[in-house]
Chains A and B, each alone.
Chain A
Amino acid sequence: MTKKEKTTWDRLLDIPQWALAIAAFVFLIIPVLKPLGLPVPVGAPAADYVKWIQEIPPGSNVVFFQEMSGSGWDEIKGGYTSTLKYLWSRKINVVIIATYSDAGPTNIWGINYANPDRFGAKYGENYVNLGYIPGIEVMVAAVRDSISATVSVDYLGTPLKDIPLMKTVDSYKDFSAIIVSFSSGTDMDKYVRQWYATHPEIPQLWMTASGNEMSAVSYWVGGMAKGYLSGPTGCAAMEGFIGEPGLAAKITDMKNLASIPTLVLVVIGNIAYFGKKLSRRES
């Protein structure tokens, strides 16, 4: 039995996975070695995020629910750190809560990277990290009504009654905005259900991985979220706003460049697929 000879279409469709990975890798490595600083387009949701964050009055308090674990952290770390920098620079106090257990370490990383000392922000006075509080949606609802009834210590084990900021902050009445960083396409629903449904006057600002844009956009159009940062591109807009392009801007460069071989390969794959189909039909 003779082996059927491969056509050009077959060869195109048989490009090995490792070759595709190397192509993406080559394009990814360029901005790592030499940052390009490509222009970052600012989408309407990101522009609204920037607009609304400026509306938060200096000296007020915000609650920051952080859900992003290590797997998606790279998508939003630029937005997380630039948001903290901006809030601290405006003397806005921040209460940080990890909604999932694996968001605890990313919080610590983000706070350290944002460097509160640079802005004169003191732990316990200008920001508090309450660490991971279990309960997910029940916790989000409980925190809305009373933080002190939900948790008794911060992430270091310091009793809340010994933390100056927590003496003045306890429930939704004390917050002028709620900031959420979430990882999956349904994670933001609980903030809409528990905070927006009962207190729509408290603006919600979100940041999430780019894969969740489709879920977030309907809430932004509906006014549940005043604005959101989607993936590194959205976060780079926030970095640009504070004048410190960094983590997100670099990843946006990488994504832009790595998208080139991806798009080319998608086009080649489709041409080969339809070419093979057509040639079969003709023969």
Chain B
Amino acid sequence: MADPVTIFWLGWSSLIAVGIMTLVWRENPYYRLVEHLIIGAGCAHMLMYGLLAVSTTGITPILAGRTLLIIPLILAILTFGRLTPWGWISRYPVALLTAIGIGILIGGALEGQIVGQVRSIGDAIYTAKDPFTTASATLAGIASIAAIIYFIYTKEHKGVLGGFARFGRIILMAGLGISWGMEFGWFITALGTWTENVVNFIRALMGIP
């Protein structure tokens, strides 16, 4: 028979899983209780981890002599300025954070996400060993261009541009459809694991190995 601690945690997770699953019947107090529990626990967890991170990446190194780290710590405190009458104070850390974020992102995005992707399509077209790969890479290139054209709003979608935009829309819809189908698999996984927890809880209670 499973130990009491295992049974306790299996019981907890089963009660929560069943509570969430009752939503398919209808909105009910049990579901709402579980929903609030999860949100509350999630917020508490994030807060504690956040505080721990301030300690490990900020306070501990400052106490160890890396005094320059006081500057980001002060900037972090200034973010809470929004909660005071001097809300403008928070604009400085937010602006700095945005600038650093965009600066770090742009450089890598050009090579990794734009040039690299275009080059890979070009490579596939020119170095392919079989006609299928060449056709596949060419289609990928045309589909990418068409999908981008769909987002051109400064010119009316008529004629050749309109044709490409329509093709782009079909490509986007196909992509989103496949994504949704795969996403559905994720929900099945979650449902499967919850089901397994409930079954394991019942097994543990009944002493079935």
Q: Is the interface of A mostly helix, strand, loop or mixed?
A: helix
How far, in angstroms, from A255 to B178 measured CA to CA in the complex? 16
Residue ID in chain B nearest A213 by CB atoms: B182
Q: Is the CB of A193 within 8 A of B112?
A: yes
Q: A92 near B: Cβ within 8 Å?
A: no
In the complex, which residues of chain A have a beta carbon less than 8 angstroms from the beta carbon of B186?
72, 75, 209-211, 231
- Interface with A: B42-50, B77-85, B86-94, B158-166, which one? B42-50
Residue ID in chain B nearest A21 by CB atoms: B24
Binary flags per residue of A138-170, CB closer than 8 Å to B gives 1, else 0: 100100000000111100010100000000000
Q: Is the CB of B108 within 8 A of A192?
A: yes
Q: Is the CB of B191 within 8 A of A258?
A: yes
Which residue of B61, B105, B188 is within 8 Å of A255 (Cβ)? B188
Q: Given A24-B188, A232-B189, A255-B188, does the pair A138, B104 have CB atoms closer than 8 Å?
A: yes
In the complex, which residues of chain B have a beta carbon less than 8 angstroms from the beta carbon of A211?
179, 182-183, 185-186
**How many residues of B are in contact with the other chain, CB < 8 A?**
50
Q: Is the CB of A101 within 8 A of B113?
A: no
Q: Given A75-B189, A193-B108, A193-B112, does the pair A132, B53 have CB atoms closer than 8 Å?
A: yes
Q: A32 near B: Cβ within 8 Å?
A: yes
Q: A124 near B: Cβ within 8 Å?
A: no
Interface residues on A, range: 35 or more
Q: Is the CB of B116 within 8 A of A221?
A: no
Q: Is the CB of B101 within 8 A of A131?
A: no
Name 11 extra pairs, CB < 8 A, besides A28-B188, A72-B186, A212-B182.
A32-B195, A101-B46, A137-B104, A194-B108, A213-B182, A221-B124, A224-B112, A250-B196, A254-B192, A255-B189, A262-B188
